[in-house]
Amino acid sequence: MATATTTARPHSAPGAHHPVRHQPTWRRRLGAAMPHLVLIGYTLVALAPIAMIVMNSMKERRAIFSEPFRLPTAETFSLVGYQTVFERSRFELYFLNSFVVTVVSVLLVLLLGSMAAFALSEYRFWGNTLLALYLALGIMIPIRLGTVSILRLLVDLSLVNSLLGLILVYTAMGLPLAVFVLGLFFRQVPRDLKEAARVDGASEYWVYRLAMPLIRPGLAAIGVFTMLPIWNDLWFPLILTPGESVRTVTLGAQLFLGQFVSDWNAVLAVLTLAMLPMLALYIIFSKQFMRGLTQGAIK
Amino acid sequence: MSATVAPARRRRRRTHVLVFLAPAVVIYTLFMVYPLLDSLRLSLFGVVDGREVFVGFDNFRLLLGDDLLSARFWNAVGNNLVFFAVHFVVQNPIGLLLAALLASPTLRGRAVYRTLIFIPTTLSVVIVGFIWQLILSPLWGFVQTPLLGRSSTALITLSLMSVWQYVGIPMLLFYAVLISIPDDLVEAAYVDGANDWQVFWRIKFPLLLPTVGMVTVVTYVANMNAFDLIYTVKGALAGPDFSTDIMGTLFFRTFFGFQLQRGSSTMGATVATFMFLLILAGVLLYFFGWQRRVETYEL
């Protein structure tokens, strides 16, 4: 169908002069292949470095340097790097910490953000616009600028080196965008539906629950936007939770890499391990991921 | 209907609003707004005999007046602007080219390209930093020049590494705009005798301009508080010879201290205040200098 529209175009415009039709076939073929060449080229630029790391993480040391572009063969295959990682650091614990922090923060952002967005878009009350503006301020101002006082606050609350402290900071970080974007989605929920529920005697909490499934694309978009920076953050784990038992994967990898910088097997293994979960999650859910991002972007 | 609303119901309605809003507002205020304001306050304080006292603009005077400190400060501001300039100059054309190719209606396999090209964006900056450090390592020998080791090339190399990671975002945003342009509009131009080149620059590009502006301001804010990449690859000292020092690393060193330099909360807060002012200046420039002048078209 797609090709039909292009070939049909000259016919639909008989007066227009179309040089394309007079070009020799090979030039037209090249023209059609060009986008693919560029896109494949850039895909290689994007993926080759990652592939190099993953591939070489499963080779013995000598092969990493002598034949870096070859896939591991039976002779060069070795998992010694991974062995070092699990013997010398507690990577499984770091994974668990990152997982807990990310999942709890994202859920809190989605829950609290949608509640606030619902209230702001649903009810008229004194100071509504002002409150919406107040919450939106945080979209443009990076929370990192308040780090000095965040650290002091967490010290006062005895939340340093605690996952809860990290979760609260990340929740505050994710809320502004969530409230703003989810508000746009809530405004599109049909009024009749909410009014019908109210006439049936539903409480406001029930009306909120009823509206939730209708803003699912918004929730997906915000989930993605919120999850990535939290899982990948180095700054706050470095400052707020440097302790071994509460270390996240990103910080764990950073410290391990600094320590084992000359052990290429271990370095390649740690890099592969650290990127694997997000990569797997991304590839499995890439369709939803892209839809969420594109939809969030249009908003 | 409002006349029949009983006072009890009205009050209950108000509690709903409170329940919906309070958690988000409290967490956001306590962990984001308060620390940001408190940081601004701290920049006006100094430590005398172990006690915090109000010193007015002394910290600012010290940061801009002291020979060593002001040299470091302006160096970081300049480097940060270069970091941003490289992003601006490189990521917009690449993002635009990829988006335009992806949005062409005859292209097959678009979802695959889009998904693969976006992969680096999902990785943690720590991983990206190390991947490139290994790839560019003279030990591996793909690149003979130590690009990251020379002060003339290190900053540009790091900026390009960051572009490599994040180019998926402009690509996706531009792509979202391009596919939302109605076919009639484009077809009409072809009927009028426009060629592909003219259609892109006269019709699609003006529609993309608001998004270019948005991408630019978001990139600026992110760049101005970037830290993870430089810290991962070059450490807190941002070598060689501070040639890769940006605001984020300067903030970190000033707050926590490094080697001979002693850390100071109040001086750290002062650097954070400057970062805030730089970000504010950029955002205001965007809103008043760009967004008001660029025409936005309703599609």
- Residue A14, pLDDT above cutoff 50: no
Shortest Cα–Cα distance, A190 to chain B (Å) = 20
Query: What's the CA dihedral at A206, A218, A175, A133 to 10 degrees?
Result: -90
- Is B49 in the same domain as B174? no
- Is B156 in the same domain as B39? no
- Residue B8, pLDDT above cutoff 60: no
The larger pLDDT score, comparing residue B298 to residue A263, is at A263
- Residue B123, pLDDT above cutoff 50: yes
What is the model's pLDDT at position B88?
Answer: 95
A234 contacts B126? CB cut-off 8 A = yes
Tens of pLDDT, residue by residue over A270-289, are 889 888 888 888 888 777 77
- Is B33 in the same domain as B148? no
| Chain A contact for B265 (CB, 8 A cutoff) | yes
What is the model's pLDDT at position B29?
Answer: 97
Residue B298 lies in a domain: no
- Is B25 in the same domain as B166? no
Shortest Cα–Cα distance, A169 to chain B (Å) = 6
Tens of pLDDT, residue by residue over B41-78, are 999 998 887 788 898 888 899 889 888 889 999 999 99
User: Structural domain of residue B39, as residue ranges?
Assistant: 2-59
Judge if the upstream peptide bond of residue B240 is cis by omega within 30 degrees of 0. yes
Q: How far is the C-alpha of A105 from the C-alpha of A171, rounded, in Å?
A: 5
Q: Find all residues with CB under 8 Å of B144, minimum gap 6, and list them.
A: B138
Q: How far is the C-alpha of A286 from the C-alpha of A279, rounded, in Å?
A: 10
Residue B296 lies in a domain: no
What is the model's pLDDT at position A290?
Answer: 76
Q: Which of B59, B79, B108 is the last residue of a domain?
A: B59
B190 contacts A144? CB cut-off 8 A = no
Closest by Cβ to B16, choosing from A35, A52, A204: A204
| Mean of the per-residue pLDDT values of chain B | 88
DSSP one-letter string for A74-123: TTTB--HHHHHHHHHS-HHHHHHHHHHHHHHHHHHHHHHHHHHHHHHHH-
Query: What's the CA dihedral at B26, A230, B214, B271 to 10 degrees?
Result: 70
Residue B217 lies in a domain: yes
- Is B278 in the same domain as B242? yes
- Is B243 in the same domain as B193? yes
- Write out the E strands in chain B: 45-48, 51-54, 257-258, 261-262
| Chain A contact for B89 (CB, 8 A cutoff) | no
Among A67-81, A243-257, B23-37, name the one with the lowest average pLDDT. Answer: A67-81
Q: Which of B19, B35, B59 is the last residue of a domain?
A: B59
Proportion of chain B in helix, strand, coil states, percent, rounded to 5:
70, 5, 25
CATH number, position B140: 1.10.3720.10
A126: confidence class by pLDDT, cuts 50, 70, 90: confident
Nearest to B169 by CA among B208, B110, B118: B118
- Residue B10, pLDDT above cutoff 60: no
Q: Name the closest residue on chain A to residue B280, using Cα atoms.
A: A141
- Is B163 in the same domain as B235? yes
Q: Which residues of A touch B134 (CB under 8 A)?
A: 52-53, 264, 267-268, 271
What is the model's pLDDT at position A297?
Answer: 61
Chains A, B: CB pairs < 8 Å? 265
- Is B157 in the same domain as B286? yes
What is the model's pLDDT at position B299?
Answer: 61
Q: Find all residues with CB under 8 Å of A4, minimum gap 6, and list them.
A: none
Residue B178 lies in a domain: yes
| Mean of the per-residue pLDDT values of chain A | 85
Tens of pLDDT, residue by residue over A210-254, are 999 999 888 888 888 898 899 999 999 999 999 989 999 999 988
Mean pLDDT to the nearest integer, B177-194 = 87
Cβ-contact A145, B1 below 8 angstroms = no
Q: Which residues of A touch B13 (CB under 8 A)?
A: 123, 204
Q: Which residues of A touch B109 (CB under 8 A)?
A: 36
Q: Which residues of A touch B113 (CB under 8 A)?
A: 39, 43
Among A3-7, A95-99, A283-287, name the one with the lowest average pLDDT. Answer: A3-7
Sequence length of chain A is 299
Cβ-contact A290, B118 below 8 angstroms = yes
List, as ranges, residues 89-128 from A with C-beta within 8 Å of B: 108, 112-113, 115-116, 118-120, 123, 125
The larger pLDDT score, comparing residue B58 to residue A295, is at B58
What is the model's pLDDT at position A10?
Answer: 42
- Is B126 in the same domain as B270? yes
List, as ranges, residues 184-223 from B with C-beta within 8 Å of A: 187, 190-191, 193, 221-222
Domains along chain A with CATH numbers: 90-259 (1.10.3720.10)
Mean pLDDT to the nearest integer, B78-90 = 96
Tally the domains of chain B. 2
- Is B207 in the same domain as B76? yes
- Is B94 in the same domain as B198? yes
- Is B127 in the same domain as B21? no
Among B191-195, B219-223, B275-279, name the one with the lowest average pLDDT. Answer: B191-195
Question: What DSSP designation does A141 have?
Answer: S
Q: What is the ipTM of this complex?
A: 0.87
Tens of pLDDT, residue by residue over B206-253, are 889 988 998 999 999 999 999 999 999 998 888 788 999 999 999 999
Nearest to A137 by CA among B162, B220, B33, B258: B33
Q: How far is the C-alpha of B154 from the C-alpha of B129, rounded, in Å?
A: 12
What is the model's pLDDT at position B158?
Answer: 96
